Each structure stands twice: as structure tokens, then as C-alpha cells.
Amino acid sequence: SWTSLLLITINTNNAAGFGGAGNVVFDVSATLDVLGNLNLGALPTNTKIADVTFTIASI
């Protein structure tokens, strides 16, 4: 499954209010390990594949 190739990292160092109630803005990095997994051949390490926007909500 492609989901096993996805790594999400949340940077909470500059996220005032993270973990509390309300809206918080923070940086998130997503890494998709596709190197060696493409039929057209491997990509160089720093190849940009996509811009991704995440919306995270909790009740």
C-alpha cells in the first residue's frame, strides 16, 4: 500500500497553543518514499513531487 510510504511530521516548536482548545497554526512536513518504487525509474533525492495541504480537526 502507498500509505506505508508516507511519513507525516508535525513541527510544534513554533505552534503557540498546540495541544489546547482552539485554532492553532503549525508547520507539517510530508515525505512520500517513492525512490525505487516507480515503474519509470528512481527519482533524485530532492525531486519535488507535489504541494500538499492538510486540514486536521478533532472534537
At residue 26, the pLDDT reads 78
What integer pLDDT is reported at residue 15 of this predicted model? 78
1-59: pLDDT as tens digits? 566 777 888 887 877 877 777 777 778 787 877 766 666 566 677 777 666 666 766 66
- Compute CA distances 13 → 6, 29, 34, whole Å: 22, 13, 28
pLDDT at 39: 62
Q: What angle do CA 21, 24, 26 make, to 5 degrees?
A: 140
pTM: 0.44
C-alpha cell at 23: 485554532
Would you state the pLDDT for residue 40? Answer: 57
The confidence score (pLDDT) of residue 33 equals 74
